[in-house]
Structure formats: structure tokens, C-alpha cells
Structure 1
């Protein structure tokens, strides 16, 4: 498959060991898709500092197409991560860096390029919600990560453009997760996934709920677990749907969830979202 991440990139700065790793929801999607054997591209905004240079060189080394990315003078996006009672937690950042002043405005050339992919993935941190309708109008699939920063208003505004929505729901009860997924579906997304940390994940397709328990490992770093789960899930699902290789939609969803959990467990054995750490 040919897939593209459109939106945010950052370096995750682990302050307790002075090491930074490439990351960001949209960028992680591209990298994980490539790791899974797909053709992958990334379209986003870079600064001109050492962090940006490291991300660019990493993507080039992974042979991810970045031909349509923008570069502007200034600080690249970063998120600060610290170790608190054994868990890695986000403690701040620069809210996207140069992306704030130079958000992605998709040109006709960008859209013709995006049309060549089977799915585009963006996120709530990509500062480009006003551009989502353009991607939707290309006719390709669009997925979107709301993380845990969604509101009912945000869901209502965005889900109508998004085919597959991802929400972080670890703080909610199972009943509340089910109600939330139904709500997002009613706003326009044909499929909605809720990740629930150690409780696994839940998918709603408009008719049924499907559950997946995590594949437990002793993690090195859980950063990127949600992104890797979603990437493996959605790409297996789309490939299976295209090939008509499953007897039922339910069978396809169950196997896709299994693939997602399997890949997420592997990601938890790597420092950062996918490695490539350098000192800062």
C-alpha cells in the first residue's frame, strides 16, 4: 500500500537522559507503515535547527518520501518527557514550534500528490483541521488521531471529514468509551477506535463493538504504542478489505486488532517512538 502522514512532527526530548528521538502522530504513522513493508511518505513542517535536521536525515535514511515538506527558519516542534515514578510523562513542549506560525496549507500540487496514496493520516496536533476537507475531497481514505484532547465540539467539527477516528480513552470507563465511540460515529466517521492503555482497545463500526487485549511485554518504552497499534490495525484492515480475503467484516476487524496489538508490543521494546535517539 501507499500511505502518507500529513501533519505533526516533533522530537521527544527525554530530559532525564538528555536524549531526543523523532516522533509525532503523523510522522510516526509514516515510519510504522514503512516498517510494516508499505510505501510511505510524510508531509509536514520542519524548522531549521538541529532537531529538524535529525528528523529529516532519519526519514531519508528510512526512504520515506518528504518531497512535499516545508522548511522554515525557527525551532522545530518538540515535546519534553521525564521519568516520574517509573513512568515516562510529557511535561511540556513548544506547541509545534514553527508549525504554529507556518501551518500546512495544502496546494493543488499537494492534493494531486496526496491522491496517489490510499490513505492519509493526520492528528489534532497538526494545526490543519481547516484543510481536512481538501483531503476528503480527493477521495482517498482519511484517518485522524484525536489523542485525549478532544471535545464534543471538536468531534462534531472534524469527524464529518474523517473515515477512521482514533481516540485515547484510558481515563474512561468501558461504558463511557462505548458511548464516546458511538458519538464520534454519529458525527460522520465510519469507524472509531478507542485505545485504553493496559485495558487494550475497542473498535466500533456502526453496528458492533470489538475488543482487543494488549499483548503484554516488559516494556522498554511505551511511547508510540498507540500510534503503532493504530497503524498496523488500519493498514491490515484496508489491505484485507481491498483483497476481500476474509469471510466476514467481523473476522477482518478481529485479525486487524490482533495485528495492531502484536506490532504495538514490539514498539514497546524500543526507546523513543522508533529509536534514532541523539543527545541534546
Structure 2
């Protein structure tokens, strides 16, 4: 299996630790899939030229993720300020609004399209701002998309027809609301619709039945990245064996392991910002 992730990257600044950890949905999925022994994992995104960007590049090299087609701009990398509550649940308390990536935006070239087509699966998200190219990509590669909490009907109509795997964060939704959302996304074109619900586990619909998977009990240190870990575990398993039940178990196990450590996949680096206002 060859996977490519396109879009958001950040560093998560844990203010209470004075450390930054590499993150961002697309970046996380690229790294976490590689850790699950996929044959090849690639990442395309826009980085800044600061310390945070240098840390991300160093980590991608160590994790053997192909980042040969990244862009770098003159400016700060995306950064989010993170706090943890008494249960280890991550709470976002500020950001620099995506840094340089949000201001420049990713524009794919013909060379990028040729590179993408060498992969089996593309993962991206609502944070990546590449919805405009999904119609061009649909017939070239299977697409996985993380909607996070975005359930606006106009947005679903814009994206669902072009993505095979749709993931949502639904801790704030009732089970009935989740069922309505899953059926709506499926009718619009997504073939596998999955909603992660925090401590309430996962619901998934594939047009035939609704599946559910409970969380795996673990000593939680930090939930940041757990959803991305679930996505990576699910995709790697499902692409290999086409079993919903096995993929749900694999995703849950992967998410459980992530909760045992700080950051989405580690690599905390000491960080003392000179300008606190930049990340409030």
C-alpha cells in the first residue's frame, strides 16, 4: 500500500511543558501510516522557515516519510496552543491560524498529479483547503477525508461525492444525529462513513449496516492525535483486508496506543516563544 497525505501540518505547543510536538491531521496520518508498515508514505504541504518547520522536516526524515514535494514559504509554520484537562483530553486554546500555509494555499502542479497517481490512497481534511481539486483527483486515486466537526449540508454536498472514506468527529452528537449524518454522507457519494465519538467509541456505515466499536480501555495521558491514529489504523487495515470489523479493531487499538504518550506521535522539542501573542 502506498499512501499520500496532502494538507495541514502544525506544531502543537504544550504551554505547560514548554514543548512543541509535530502534528496536523494530514501530517499525522502520513507518519502514523508509515509506522504501521505501509510500503510507502508521502506528504505534501506548506511549511514555514522557522524552528517549528525545521523540527517537522527533521521528524519526517526520521520517520522515512517522503516529503520531496513540500513547499516552504517565508514565515511562521502553523502552530496550535494545547492544554490538557484532568482526563488527558486535549483542549485547543489558541493558534496562529495555520501560519504561512493558510495564507498561501496549496496549488497542485501537473508534476504533483503525476506523483499522486503513483499512490493507492490520498488522505486530506477540512483543514487542508484543497476541496477545489477533489473532482480532478476522484478518478485517479481513492480519497479519504477528515471532516472533523464540519457537517454543514452545503459543504457535505461539495465534498462527499468525491471521497470514498469520510471521517467525522461526533462527540457532541447524539447517536441518532450520527445515524442521520452517516446516511446523508453515504447518499451524497461517500462509500464508508465513520464517526468517532470519544469515550463513546465509533459508529460506521457502509450502505449495508451500521457498525459500532467501543474504545479500548487505557491509561490516558493525552488524547491529541487519537482520532488521526484511528484513521491511519483503519485505512491501513481496510485497504489490506477489506474487513470492516478488523479495520475498526485496528483503528481502536492504534488510537489507544496514541493516548499513552504526549503529542500525536511524540518528538517533543523544548520551545520558548519570543512572541506569546503570535500563538494566543
Shorter-normalised TM range: over 0.9
Give the conservation status (yes or no) of the 8 Å contact 2:6–2:45: yes
Gaps of 5+ in 1: 242-251
Q: Which moved more, 1:32-41 or 1:84-93?
A: 84-93
Q: 1:260 and 1:88 mapped to 2: Cα distance?
A: 19
Residues 58, 33 of structure 1: alpha-carbon distance in 2 compared, 3 angstrom cutoff: same
Q: 1:115 aligns with which of 106, 109, 117?
A: 117
How many residues align? The count is 269
Equivalent residue number for residue 59 of structure 2: 58
Matches within 5 A, 1:96-107: 96-107=98-109
* TM-score normalised by structure 1 residue count: 0.94
SS of 1:137 mapped into structure 2: coil
Equivalent residue number for residue 145 of structure 1: 146
Q: 2:134 aligns with which of 132, 135, 148?
A: 132
Matches within 5 A, 1:158-173: 158-173=159-174
- Deviation string 1:34-72 (CA, Å, 9 cap, x unpaired) is 110012110111000100010011001111100111011
Equivalent residue number for residue 271 of structure 1: 262
Q: 1:147 and 1:277 mapped to 2: Cα distance?
A: 24
Gaps of 5+ in 2: 272-280
Equivalent residue number for residue 10 of structure 2: 10
Q: 1:42 and 1:109 mapped to 2: Cα distance?
A: 14
Equivalent residue number for residue 32 of structure 1: 32
Q: Which moved more, 1:96-105 or 1:165-174?
A: 96-105
Compute the displacement of 1:83 (Å). Answer: 3.1
Residues 1:260 and 2:251 aligned together: yes
Give the conservation status (yes or no) of the 8 Å contact 2:82–2:91: yes
Q: 1:258 and 1:103 mapped to 2: Cα distance?
A: 35
Compute the displacement of 1:85 (Å). Answer: 4.5
Q: 1:135 and 1:55 mapped to 2: Cα distance?
A: 27
Q: 2:151 and 2:182 mapped to 1: Cα distance?
A: 12
Equivalent residue number for residue 184 of structure 1: 185
Q: 1:75 and 1:9 mapped to 2: Cα distance?
A: 12
Matches within 5 A, 1:176-215: 176-215=177-216
Q: 1:136 and 1:94 mapped to 2: Cα distance?
A: 32
Q: 1:234 and 1:88 mapped to 2: Cα distance?
A: 24
* TM-score normalised by structure 2 residue count: 0.94
Runs of 4+ in 1 over 6 A off after TM superposition: none
Matches within 5 A, 1:221-236: 221-236=222-237
Give the conservation status (yes or no) of the 8 Å contact 2:168–2:196: yes
SS of 2:5 mapped into structure 1: strand
Q: 2:260 and 2:86 mapped to 1: Cα distance?
A: 19
Compute the displacement of 1:88 (Å). Answer: 2.6
SS of 1:232 mapped into structure 2: helix
Equivalent residue number for residue 96 of structure 2: 94
SS of 1:146 mapped into structure 2: strand
